[in-house]
Structure 1
């Protein structure tokens, strides 16, 4: 039997793969916009903004997903409120809340008797513990993500280039920004159990960066990012099975490695194209790439 197939003969690994692929699809769609809009710091901040809610839910014995979602929503709303007031810059607001929420989460969870275990699960997730109910929640989250991304696609695109033009066209850029932050929040909360708050940014950024090296069409980038993320999940889980490494961290490393390999391949192909005799004879195609052909 193939070494790749062997680990997934067990139910918990198969459920981890299914859940991980759903997370990859969610992060592929949302991560594309995160990269385009330069919202990586926001994604990381929302991930840490979940910690107080997750910690409080852990101490009280309540559902951690609900606690994390409530905390992430508060974090997102506070960032928006500070930005509207205009007294602090966007990145300064995020930075202050980032540290505040992280500190508050550690303070709350430190009262738990299982501090080390709980903190590790919050930061790095436990994809191997995903069950049928978790997979159902991820499937619903993916459906919501796709619906919002499709419904607000024109508004997202216009707002990314010029919010004033988006407003002139009646696309409501402020609402689009709120929905985009909501998508990032949903992606972080949905991915929490699989890879944790600390590693979710890897699945949000790395597959989208890897896909963006080959196409500049947004829907194509989303599809490619989701596929790359799914492959990273497969590789990460397989490596975790055979090497005995942490599954969430292995998935995150596989995703980042995919971005590195994609960048090297794209740079290598561009260099070969520039050095080839054909490119010298036909300068108009010297810089041709899949991205430019789809623009």
Structure 2
């Protein structure tokens, strides 16, 4: 099938696919915890929190990824500092910082002579321009992500179930929360080149939502979400190549479509099984497939 293979005969498309696959793996791991803990707004906010650093680096001609990482890290630290004071709710804290960082980033970018081009790259990414050095950076980010996720797995699980139990078990829930925010920050920064600051949540949420229709344990959800993420990257790049659309936006759209398609297929599968069970069992009892929660949280701590 030439339409499937021809686009990946070019070097820049191969680099985009490899880089996108690494981003999908990072987001598959971190996005699972984002969904479990209900941290989607945090991911979106940190994505926008990158904007001032990326914008300032663009204006000054400095590495944009470094600028974005510093800016996102500063926002994460500010969220933690305000939370420790306990005077504002979590959502309120994130919302205030979200607006502050977004507006300051736009102010900085507005001073650039190439405002339109810079803004498009910042907001929607430029995965087709990814270089070998950036792929190496993404590979290192994936190793760090896997290391932290493995080391703090039990702490993350116990904190998601009940922070008091985590504290009783000596699993340090506060440190787990800090490390989880750090993972979200790392995933957002790593995804910048692929989908920009606006669409990063698509890769964090879409593949995981698609995966949890079919899995019940956290590690298996991470693996399947990674596979769905790679599928979204591949299909998005193909769409961009053949339809001439923006690559980052195409990838994000494919990720959301995968989540929707997975939910539809799972629902149809459940209905088919339920009808089959009605025919087999005279009592009409149902199997209730899919009625269990998407993640067996407590089982992960054992």
Please list the CA deviations of residues 111-154 of structure 1 after superposition, one character each: whole Å capped at 9, or x if unmatched.
11001111110000000000100100000000000000001000
SS state at 2:289 partner = coil
Q: Which consecutive aligned stretches of 4+ in structure 1 deviate over 6 angstroms post-superposition?
A: 290-294
- Find the counterpart in structure 1 of residue 15 from structure 2: 15
Answer yes or no: is 1:30 the counterpart of 2:30.
Answer: yes
Answer yes or no: is 1:286 the counterpart of 2:261.
Answer: no
Answer yes or no: is 1:274 the counterpart of 2:274.
Answer: yes
Please list the CA deviations of residues 3-53 of structure 1 after superposition, one character each: whole Å capped at 9, or x if unmatched.
111100000000000000000000000000000000000000000000001
- Find the counterpart in structure 1 of residue 170 from structure 2: 170
Please list the CA deviations of residues 225-253 of structure 1 after superposition, one character each: whole Å capped at 9, or x if unmatched.
00000001110000100000000000000
TM-score (norm 1): 0.96
Note closer, same or farther for the CA distance 1:230–1:125 as it changes in structure 2 (3 Å cut): same
User: Does the 8 Å CA contact 1:279/1:286 hold for their aligned counterparts?
Assistant: no
Answer yes or no: is 1:252 the counterpart of 2:291.
Answer: no
Note closer, same or farther for the CA distance 1:269–1:90 as it changes in structure 2 (3 Å cut): same
Q: Which runs of 5+ in 2 are unaligned?
A: 297-302
- Find the counterpart in structure 2 of residue 121 from structure 1: 121
Q: Aligned-residue CA RMSD in angstroms? A: 1.7
Q: Which runs of 5+ in 1 are unaligned?
A: none
Higher mean displacement: 241-250 or 56-65:
56-65
- Find the counterpart in structure 1 of residue 300 from structure 2: none
Please list the CA deviations of residues 139-171 of structure 1 after superposition, one character each: whole Å capped at 9, or x if unmatched.
000000000000100000000000010011000
Shift of 1:290: 10
Note closer, same or farther for the CA distance 1:33–1:282 as it changes in structure 2 (3 Å cut): farther
SS state at 2:199 partner = helix
- Find the counterpart in structure 1 of residue 188 from structure 2: 188
User: Does the 8 Å CA contact 1:52/1:102 hold for their aligned counterparts?
Assistant: yes
Counterpart mapping for 1:26-105 below 5 A: 26-105=26-105
Note closer, same or farther for the CA distance 1:293–1:17 as it changes in structure 2 (3 Å cut): closer
- Find the counterpart in structure 2 of residue 150 from structure 1: 150
**How many Å separate the matches in 1 of 2:100 and 2:168?**
38
Note closer, same or farther for the CA distance 1:84–1:293 as it changes in structure 2 (3 Å cut): closer
Answer yes or no: is 1:234 the counterpart of 2:212.
Answer: no
User: Does the 8 Å CA contact 2:31/2:205 hold for their aligned counterparts?
Assistant: yes
Higher mean displacement: 280-289 or 94-103:
280-289
Note closer, same or farther for the CA distance 1:173–1:33 as it changes in structure 2 (3 Å cut): same
User: Does the 8 Å CA contact 2:213/2:290 hold for their aligned counterparts?
Assistant: no
**How many Å separate the matches in 2 of 1:279 and 1:36?**
36
**How many Å separate the matches in 1 of 2:174 and 2:83?**
12
